Amino acid sequence: MGNTSSLLLPIKSIEVMKILLCIALLQAFFASSSTNAQGISLDVDGGHVCTRTDSTKYRTNYRQQSKAVYRSVRECCDGYLYVEPENNCYPCTINKWGHNCNNDCFCLNGATCDPFDGNCTCATGYTGSDCGDTCTWNKYGPGCLLDCQCENGAACDPVTGACNCTAGFRGPLCVERCPENTYGYGCNQTCQCQHNATCDHIDGRCFCSPGWQGVYCTEPCPAYHFGPGCNETCSCVNAQSCDRFTGSCKCDIGYIGQTCSERCMNGTFGRNCSLTCDYCVEATGCSNVEGKCQCKPNFDGVICNSPCENGFWGSTCKDRCSCENEASCHSTTGKCICPPGFTGVHCENYCPDRTHGYNCQYQCSSDCLSTNKTCHPETGSCICQAGKTGVSCDEDCTNYTYGYNCQYQCPIDCISNNGTCDLVTGVCICPAGRIGVNCNEACSMHKWGYNCTNNCICLNGATCDPSDGSCNCAAGYTGSDCGDTCTLNKYGPDCKIDCQCENAAACDPVTGACNCTAGFRGPLCVERCPENTYGHGCNQICQCQNNETCDHIDGRCFCSPGWQGFHCTEPCPADHFGPGCNETCTCVNAQSCDRYVGSCKCDIGYIGQTCSERCVRQLGALTWRANVSVNLISMACFVTVLVRMDFGETPVKSDVHVRMRDLVILQQESVFVLLVLLAHIVKTIVSTTHMDTNVSTSVPAIASQITEFVIRKQVFAFARPAG
């Protein structure tokens, strides 16, 4: 131990009594002390541990003073559970919260609750304090805070925001009307309207084209009605009917004009007033219908050339004429006066070939003669072959007419179905895609062309055009035979619509609805998964512990400092710290470093950032001061003690610095605890009969630990061997 006699002073009996009295006073203090919790500090360190301060109140019998000793208690913060024997704080499980995770969560519909205050974090599509309410029709997403983007009265999915289109609309946002010839929800219904009618894109109701009526536009307009749906009324006067498509009047013989209200002008008659009655002799005109001469007073006869009544002659007009073919006779001579086209004594013969008119005095035109045709005996017009017309019979019948002189009208049904009729026979000739007597039947589903003789080759539910066989692809397909599916960024009929999806999402080839990739959601896949969710549809819940976040695509956890593992549940091993425990400690004289920030936890006797500096003994001017190593309550603490104790009138004063891990406490009252320990040490190892002897010989058991132990008046001093 060396020579320490120069440092030792004799201890007087009265001084020993003072020490014993001090010990008794301290024991009395602890017997009358009480403890009060003074609240919990929210100062949280990296291990999810909070500091709570306790106080111990006491009253000294020696000086009748009230004192309080404070101590810091470390315990798990709210939202964490203390687990033995690991001696660690772990986060509350999903349905627990609060201090030591003692409270149950009451969140509904897959919601999570905050482990600290129990507030519910609603799953997508729900809201309310307990997440028991679903989103209203125009809201969706976390907390129902996102506005639906759907148009035309469509509601959206409360979770994804995908639009549920109303009838007649389609597309991601329901802004597209159903394509022509389709209607209803999803535009999946095919219109049943006939004769080029269109249908309502919502309910399929037919809008008939002119000339047709009925539920499916299959019924022609009745007499005196025309136009779309036959809703217009004909305004014709002298006509049996009007055109059911345009409403134009078909005038009776002898009438003309837009409404057939005008009689043929004087000197004309027949259909469309196309014939003249200039053969009348003593007449004021002729009938507008059949062209009969209207004789002047006192005249009679077909051409009003006789004063006698038609068919009679003589001075008294009593002799009956012997004329045929409605010929009249001269009122005086009884000679037959033949009408145009007839000849002979009794007008019994038609005009000779190639002649016409009154008395057959006119020759047929050279055009008729050059084509070996003849002419009409009355009018002189060429008598053409059936289906031909014109002065020279070199023109086909027009305006849906046929037969000799194109005098016959093609059937209305044939015309309305875009057919034509044979110029000679009038038989209806159907266009490609239609069959039937009047072309009133379309080709069956898998047939096309003239007389519907060709087979369709369309695939995947496509229909073919009955006229040319071209395929009308169903939504989601394209190609000449609709055998190809839409490419990644196209959808709809014939794949002509561009997908609107973002973040590499593909769209449904039929509806265009986006199929979001992992980590995204929403109608157009522009939203990242909400916090704590990931994967396809954002339906996966992150499993990361200790309030860590996860990758919105694959759920991979991003551990905060001090934690590692797939779910961040494993604390950093020794010599590692930081995010994911990827940093290595740089400590020298330390068992480990702080796993959050990497600060070194020095071994006893070392200090510094890396624990590379040894402790140094210090000496004061009036008292001994030194660094002392003490095993205090089984905890390795580094204690620096400067003690000056006066048992006289001077109050006890002390400064105590205790470094316990990273927590430093500096307060005067704590010295009493240390003094009690010191007093018990003195009482145990030093007897009163040897107080005045050399301490080093009285306490050989600790001689190797303590080189100087001095009781000099009221001063204690401990010294550890240098080095």
Q: What is the per-residue pLDDT for 707? A: 33
Pairwise pLDDT comparison (34 vs 293), residue with the higher score: 293
Residue 96's beta-bridge partner residues? Answer: 104
705 against 446, higher pLDDT: 446
Phi/psi for 679 (5° steps) reads -65, -40
Q: How confident is the model at residue 721 (pLDDT cuts 50, 70, 90)?
A: very low
Contact predicate 328/299, CB 8 Å: no
What pLDDT digit, counting tens, does each position of 238-289 carry?
887 888 888 888 888 888 888 898 888 877 888 888 888 877 887 777 887 7
**Averaged pLDDT, 529-558:** 88
Question: Residues with Cβ < 8 Å from 444, sequence gap 6 or more?
Answer: 452
The pLDDT value recorded for residue 656 is: 32
pLDDT, greater one: 623 or 159? 159
**Confidence (pLDDT) at 176:** 92
What pLDDT does residue 344 have?
92
Residue 717 pLDDT grade (very low, low, confident, very high; cuts 50, 70, 90) = very low
pLDDT above 90 for 549: no
- Bridge-partner residues for 283, per DSSP? 295
* Per-residue pLDDT at 370: 65
Region 100-123 average pLDDT: 90
Mean pLDDT, to the nearest integer, of 367-377? 68
Q: Which fold has domain 559-614?
A: Tie2 ligand-binding domain fold (2.170.300)
**pTM listed for this prediction:** 0.35
Per-domain residue ranges for the chain? 34-103, 264-350, 559-614, 617-719
Mean pLDDT of 109-123: 89
In the Cβ-directed half-sphere of 324, how many Cα atoms lie within 13 Å?
A: 10
102 exposed, middle or buried (CB, 10 Å; 0-12, 13-18, 19+)? Answer: exposed
pLDDT band at 398 (very low <50, low <70, confident <90, very high): confident
Q: Look at residue 654 and tell me whether its pLDDT is greater than 70.
A: no
Neighbours of 121 (CB within 10 A): 15
Can you give the pLDDT at residue 574? 84
pLDDT at 264: 87
pLDDT score at 716:
35
Which of 324-328, 395-399, 637-641, 696-700 has the least mean pLDDT? 637-641
Mean pLDDT, rounded, for 279-305: 76
List the beta strands (DSSP E) in 492-602. 497-498, 506-507, 514-515, 520-521, 527-528, 533-534, 540-541, 549-550, 557-558, 563-564, 570-571, 576-577, 583-584, 590-593, 600-602
Convert the pLDDT of each residue in 606-631 to its tens digit: 888 889 888 874 433 333 222 232 33
Which of 142-146, 194-198, 633-637 shows the lowest mean pLDDT across its residues? 633-637
User: What's the full length of the chain, in residues?
Assistant: 723
Strands 497-498 and 477-478: unpaired
- Identify the residue with better confidence: 123 or 690: 123
Residue 672 has pLDDT above 70, yes or no: no
Residue 178 has pLDDT above 90, yes or no: yes
**pLDDT value at residue 676:** 41
Confidence at residue 97, expressed as pLDDT on a 0 to 100 scale: 92
Look at residue 379 and tell me whether its pLDDT is greater than 90: no
What Å distances lie between residue 605 and 232, 610, 628, 723, CA to CA?
A: 112, 13, 9, 10
- Tell me the two tokens of residue 222: 């009745």
State the average pLDDT for the chain: 75
CA gap 654, 649 in Å, rounded = 15
**What is the pLDDT averaged over residues 103-132?**
90
Across the strands, what pairs with 606?
A: 614
- Whether 589 contacts 611, CB under 8 Å: yes
Greater model confidence, 505 or 655: 505
Percent of the chain with pLDDT over 70: 75
pLDDT digits (tens, 9 = 90+) for 585-612: 989 888 788 988 899 988 888 888 889 8
Is 130's pLDDT higher than 70? yes
DSSP code string of 200-247 = -TTT--EEPPBTEESTTS-EEPPTTEESBTT-EE---SSEEEE-TTT-
d(CA 211, CA 412): 10
Backbone phi and psi for residue 339, each to the nearest 5 degrees, phi listed first: -75, 165
**pLDDT value, residue 380:** 78
Q: What are the counts of helices (DSSP H) followed by strands (DSSP E) for the chain?
A: 5, 81
As a whole number, mean pLDDT of residues 67-86 equals 83
Tokens matching residue 253? 């013989």
Q: How high is the pLDDT of residue 662?
A: 30
Q: Would you state the structure tokens that stand for residue 99, as one six-digit string?
A: 């201090």
Chain centroid, CA 370 distance in Å: 79
What per-residue confidence (pLDDT) applies to 170?
A: 92
* Confidence tier at 152 by pLDDT (50, 70, 90): very high
Q: What pLDDT was estimated at residue 316? A: 65
Least confident of 403-407, 462-466, 502-506: 403-407
Q: 67-76, 297-306, 500-509: lowest mean pLDDT where?
A: 297-306
